[in-house]
């Protein structure tokens, strides 16, 4: 939702860049990946990275066709995500780039693309001492939460997740002692009762998870599309009053661990 009322917190759909030394990891390919792509194109190539997709809802994949580095030969990306029913993860992404939805089929992009289908609960070794752990999200059509671990530093990416299901226990384990929890705070506590079952959460639940897991910083993520900067600022002030190490995610925000 980019526009004059979302300039502070940003209006793009989910995309988070993680850098560990020379390694590039991207969490989700929402519209935010377009700006990330432009930034990466300024760096000396070739560009290689691992892209983890939480689930195939539009807001998490719709930026991929506009990710410039995928169009350049010599670049390579490994994409990880879940299949759905009989449809493989690769097919889920491919079919979004087919006529009449998009003029360039995924097979014709210049970069080498490798697809790995994963399931919640899987652990992946990415090399260079980087481990990625996963857990299932409580969300319509499912989804995956990720923990990226390097040495004694870690961050957890928990979005499109609704609290209060039997999946909470696995998630709590995933987030145990993490330095940074990026958490779905789509609804306010006042809004939530009307939207139970929509697969999103609140900052209060994020804070509860953070405390139970003994985690460090909290970043509120996946702001409701209708939320404007003014409302976001009020929301952020509320969470900071409860927990000074909390912030609302904003476009271009950088956090060093
Ligand atoms: Zn979703
Ligand atoms: Zn979403």
Judge if pTM exceeds 0.85.
yes
Per-residue pLDDT tens digits for 176-225: 999 999 999 999 999 999 999 999 999 999 999 999 999 999 999 999 99
Report the alpha-carbon distance of residue 50 to residue 18 in Å, rounded. 10
Nearest to 240, CA basis, from 211, 219, 225, 215:
219
Ligand 1 geometric centre to CA of 187 (Å)? 13
The first and second tokens of residue 66, run together, are 């506009």
Ligand 1 geometric centre to CA of 44 (Å)? 34
Helix (H) or strand (E) holding 62, with range, is none
The CATH number given to whatever domain includes residue 207 is: 3.60.15.10
Give the number of domains in the chain. Answer: 1
What is the chain's mean pLDDT, rounded?
97
Per-residue pLDDT tens digits for 154-174: 999 999 999 999 999 999 999
With respect to residue 140, please indicate whether it lies within any of the assigned structural domains. yes
Ligand 2 geometric centre to CA of 57 (Å)? 6
Report the alpha-carbon distance of residue 184 to residue 206 in Å, rounded. 7
Give the pLDDT band of residue 45 (cuts 50, 70, 90): confident
Ligand 2 geometric centre to CA of 53 (Å)? 11
Mean pLDDT (whole number) for 146-154 = 98
Q: Is 38 helix (H, G, I), strand (E, B) or coil?
A: helix
Ligand 2 geometric centre to CA of 91 (Å)? 20
Report the alpha-carbon distance of residue 98 to residue 95 in Å, rounded. 5
The first and second tokens of residue 142, run together, are 């499912």
Ligand nearest to the CA of 198: 1
Enclosing domain of residue 203:
4-248
Give the pLDDT band of residue 133 (cuts 50, 70, 90): very high
With respect to residue 210, please indicate whether it lies within any of the assigned structural domains. yes
Ligand nearest to the CA of 57: 1
Ligand 1 geometric centre to CA of 132 (Å)? 21
With respect to residue 208, please indicate whether it lies within any of the assigned structural domains. yes
Gyration radius from the chain CA atoms = 18
Cβ < 5 A residues, ion ligand 1 = 57, 160
With respect to residue 254, please indicate whether it lies within any of the assigned structural domains. no
73 φ/ψ angles, rounded to the nearest 5 degrees = -60, 145
């Amino acid at each position: 939702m980019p526009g004059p009322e979302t300039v502070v917190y940003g209006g793009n759909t989910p995309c988070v860049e993680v850098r560990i030394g020379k390694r590039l990891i991207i969490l989700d390919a929402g519209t935010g990946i377009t700006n990330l792509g432009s930034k990466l194109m300024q760096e000396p190539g070739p560009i290689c990275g691992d892209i983890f997709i939480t689930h195939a809802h539009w807001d998490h994949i719709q930026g991929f066709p506009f990710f410039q580095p995928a169009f350049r030969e010599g670049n390579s990306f490994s994409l990880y995500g879940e299949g759905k029913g009989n449809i493989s993860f690769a097919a889920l992404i491919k079919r979004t780039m087919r006529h009449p939805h998009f003029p360039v089929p995924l097979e014709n992009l210049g970069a080498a693309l490798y697809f790995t289908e994963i399931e919640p609960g899987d652990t992946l070794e990415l090399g260079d001492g980087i481990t990625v752990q996963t857990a299932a999200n409580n969300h319509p059509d499912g989804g995956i939460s990720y923990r990226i671990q390097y040495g004694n530093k870690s961050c957890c990416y928990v979005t499109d997740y609704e609290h209060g299901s039997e999946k909470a226990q696995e998630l709590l384990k995933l987030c145990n002692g993490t330095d940074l929890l990026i958490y779905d705070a789509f609804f306010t506590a006042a809004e939530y009762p009307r939207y139970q079952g929509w697969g999103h959460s609140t900052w209060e639940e994020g804070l509860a998870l953070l405390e139970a897991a003994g985690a460090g910083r909290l970043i509120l993520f996946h702001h409701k599309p209708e939320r404007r900067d003014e409302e976001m600022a009020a929301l952020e002030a509320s969470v900071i009053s409860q927990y000074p190490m909390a912030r609302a995610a904003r476009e271009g925000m950088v956090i060093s661990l």
